[in-house]
A and B are shown apart, each in its own frame.
Chain A
Amino acid sequence: MTAAGEGIIRRNLWERAIRPTLALLALVVIAIALYNNFWRLGLPSLQRIAGHLFGLTVFFGVGCGALYVYRRSYFRGAGLAERICACLVTPVLYTASDVLRVREFFSWGESLYYALSPGFQLILLANLGCMGLAEMSCRLRLRRKGAVVRIVTPLPLAAVLLFLAGLYVILIWGFGVHWFYIYQQGYKALFH
């Protein structure tokens, strides 16, 4: 995967990686705060709408935020490592904040194991898949502008396939129950 292509001007680090990362992070943080606290305003007629709006923003922001960050950083000249790091900031911070939250009632070891749970696995894999999709969509755009570039190459394709495989194992196989029990077996082996 490369960002080097026609029509791409390499911007400074703030512009090419930090700014899109912070934009997504800010959106997710605000959406989480509003999602969790809107009901306190006592507006029952708006509660359902607010739930949809903010809840789905959090869901897609954390799970698919890479679609936005990757493309922005790609066309601002960020390298592959920068793009991947930028995409991972929001899901990793989301996971870390949840680990700190459960640290209130789980031990450190349990809390770290919690970070490996199916939900966070899926978030990570979803972002990986989104990076693969974003890479290919960026190449498509470059090609439309006249660049000679292959759209589908093994790495982004593998990222998408890995996500689909993870989606099946984690969420679709037995409606998530089987993988969850495997995860719980791991917990029993480690902590019981």
Chain B
Amino acid sequence: MPEGNGFFAEKMTRRRALGLIGGSMAACAAGLRFPRFSHASGRPNIIFILSDDHRWDAMGNMGHPVVQTPSLDRLASQGVRFNNAFVTTSLCSPSRASFLTGQYAHTHGVQNNLTPWRDGNVTFLELLKQVGYDTAFIGKWHMPGRLPALRGVDRFITFTVQEGQGRYFDCPLIVNGREEPSRRPYITEELTDRALEFLSRKRANPFCLYLSHKAVHHRFLPPPELKNLYDRADLHLPPEADSWISWAKGQVWTGVLGPLEREYRNYLATLTALDRQIGRIVEWVDNSGRAQNTVIVYAGDNGYFWGEHRFVDKRWAYEEAIRIPFIIRDPDLVNRPGLPAGQMILNIDLAPTLLEMAGLPVPSAMEGSSLVPLLRNRDASGRRAWMYEYFKDFPYNTPEHQAVRTRRHKFIQFQGGRPEELYDLVRDPREMKNLIGMAEGAQLRPELAAMLEALRRGARL
């Protein structure tokens, strides 16, 4: 009998069997999909690791010229890396809420870093708990409003200092509502320790761990032993960048106040530190004999500009800000491991994916789509287009805007006086040539504008 499957661990009586059959028929009649395990061995264990501000190309397996990420490289080689993974809002709080709920920011309500989390929001952790998972949320919550009593979470470890951003060193934790000092000086190591403690517990149920790191958010502080790791590296910053770009045009709010090169080196070193801790989790899974029935998902909450478009930070609908690393290692499910996927996927797809993996119906309120079909059939076409949205977040200097991104084009409409933008992402991947006002743009605009309008109408924006 597989460990960690409460359903099959129960003794089956005639009454219970009849009850289950009756319940299943009622579920079918109500239009819910019949629960079906995606894994041969039943409900899988789930580990979701979320990082902060990790842009999609800052990994060794993406060919980054500097950063070393052997653990993420290993996950990518043993699973599937989605090369076209995006967030629907490129900002920490909204994106985190989207991962948890499978919904857009306009639906779950956390539209920026000021609008609070709604207690009525349903997370995938809550739904997994209802079918017997042991659950833990460990790490950065960082959603406006008071810290919630998160339903369906057995162990809730987070931090509230600096408005929920936490600190890299000696960050006090809130463990199930009680403040505790950090046992390790460095936050990424501390959170990993706490995660390993949760994983190591003896249990009969499957588990779901949501491990949400502070790294690699500003102030990009690596542990002392990695501080000078990339001091001599050639950084390959974009040609439009310069050292003081974060002081220009209201970008001082990002807090990136030092020369860009120094901040970027620290960012990369902090990322390598994170990778080492991810390695500890992967090692534990592999050494515990649970690898076959444990899904590991790694993602970033949004991208990050390092001088592209003369920006630092995120928020804007350009590729650097909206693309994220997204890797799934699932030995039981992933067809052709090691082969990257090119389909467009979104952060709101995570919750439906994990629910389907656990054999649960996906609630109609979730706006994402399960990635399980893509994992099984690697040649499936995936989505054709999707909507990006950004809401005002005072005092950050980014206008509210929406965009439609297709496989080839991106069309952006801003609130206020900023003109529309349209890019051919195949011919102009760095989005430097706005096609609005050109013949090609005039030809493309009507269809893309109609598409964006339809998506907006669907979202009631």
Whether A117 pairs with B395 at a CB distance below 8 angstroms is: yes
CB-CB under 8 A for A187 and B392, given A174-B162, A175-B255: no
Please, which residue of chain B has its CB at the minimum distance from the CB of A181?
B163
Size of the A side of the interface (Cβ < 8 Å), in residues, is 35
Contact A104-B255, Cβ < 8 Å, known A55-B244, A191-B394: no
A44-52, A71-79, A156-164: which lies at the B interface?
A44-52
A84 within 8 Å of B (CB atoms): no
The verdict on A105 contacting B392 (CB below 8 Å), with A35-B248, A39-B310, A51-B244 known, is yes
Interface: A36 (CB within 8 A): yes
Mark each residue of chain A from 114 to 127: 1 if its CB lies under 8 Å from any CB of chain B, else 0: 10010100000000
Q: Assess A51 versus B245: contact at CB under 8 Å? Given A119-B252, A176-B255.
A: yes
Which of B162, B244, B257, B415 is within 8 Å of A52, CB to CB?
A: B244
Q: Which of B165, B398, B416 has the most CB of A within 10 A?
A: B416
Q: Bound state CA distance, A53 and B458, in angstroms? A: 49
Residues on the B chain within 8 Å of A51, using CB: 241-245
Decide if the interface of chain B is mainly helix, strand, loop or mixed: loop
CB-based contact A102/B250 at 8 Å: yes
State A101–B397 Cα separation when bound (angstroms). 9
Q: Say yes or no for B400: interface residue by CB 8 A criterion.
A: yes
User: A188 vs B114: C-alpha distance in the bound complex, in angstroms?
Assistant: 8
Contact status A47-B162, CB under 8 Å: no
Q: Contact at A36–B248, with CB atoms within 8 Å?
A: yes
Q: Which of A48, A105, A177 contacts B255 (CB 8 A)?
A: A177
Residues from 157 to 190 in A contacting B, C-beta threshold 8 Å: 174-177, 180-181, 183-184, 187-188
Residues of A within 8 A of B165 (CB): 177
Once the chains bind, are A47 and B242 in contact (CB under 8 Å)? yes
- Mask: chain A, 92-130; 1 = CB below 8 Å from B; 0 = not: 000000100110111000100010010100000000000
Q: Do B243 and A52 touch across chains, with their CB atoms under 8 A apart? A: yes
Q: Contacts A175-B255, A187-B395: A101 and B162 contacting too (C-beta < 8 A)?
A: no
Q: Which of A39-77 contact B (CB under 8 A)?
A: 39, 42, 44, 47-48, 50-52, 55-56, 59
A105 & B400 in contact (Cβ 8 Å cutoff): yes
B244 surroundings in chain A (CB, below 8 A): 35, 51-52, 55-56, 59
Q: Name the interface residues of B227-265: CB closer than 8 Å to any CB of A.
A: 239-245, 247-250, 252-253, 255, 257
- Tell me, in angstroms, the Cα distance from A105 to B390 when the chains sit together: 12
Q: What's the least CB distance linking A116 to chain B, in Å? A: 10
Docked pose: A174 CA to B400 CA in angstroms: 29
B side interface size, CB within 8 A: 33
B416/A105 in contact, CB under 8 A: yes
Majority secondary structure, A binding face = helix
How many Å lie between the Cα of A101 and that of B248 in the bound state? 12
B418 within 8 A of A: yes
CA distance A6 to B372 in the complex (A): 86
B289 CB-CB contact with A under 8 Å: no
Assess whether B219 is interfacial by the CB under 8 Å rule: yes
Cβ of B417 within 8 Å of any chain A Cβ, yes or no, is yes
Q: Does B441 contact A (CB under 8 A)?
A: no
A47 and B114 in contact, given A56-B244, A105-B399, A106-B392 (Cβ under 8 angstroms): no
Q: Is A192 part of the contact surface with B, judged by Cβ < 8 Å?
A: yes
Within the complex, the shortest CB–CB distance from A35 to chain B, in Å, comes to: 7
Q: How far is the CB of B111 from chain A (nearest CB, A)?
A: 12
Query: CA A171 – CA B191 in complex, angstroms?
Result: 29
Contact B416 A104 (CB under 8 A): yes
Which chain B residues have a beta carbon within 8 Å of chain A's beta carbons?
114, 162-163, 165, 219, 239-245, 247-250, 252-253, 255, 257, 310, 392, 394-395, 397-400, 414-418
13 contacts between A and B (CB under 8 A): A42-B239, A47-B241, A47-B242, A48-B242, A48-B243, A101-B250, A102-B395, A105-B414, A106-B395, A114-B394, A177-B255, A183-B395, A184-B114
Known: A51-B245, A52-B244. 8 other contacts (CB 8 A): A35-B244, A105-B397, A110-B394, A119-B252, A181-B162, A181-B163, A184-B114, A192-B114
Interface residues in chain A, defined as those with a beta carbon under 8 Å from any beta carbon in chain B:
35-36, 39, 42, 44, 47-48, 50-52, 55-56, 59, 98, 101-102, 104-106, 110, 114, 117, 119, 174-177, 180-181, 183-184, 187-188, 191-192
Q: Which 9 A-B pairs have the closest CB atoms?
A: A51-B242, A105-B399, A55-B244, A39-B240, A44-B239, A104-B416, A105-B416, A104-B417, A119-B252
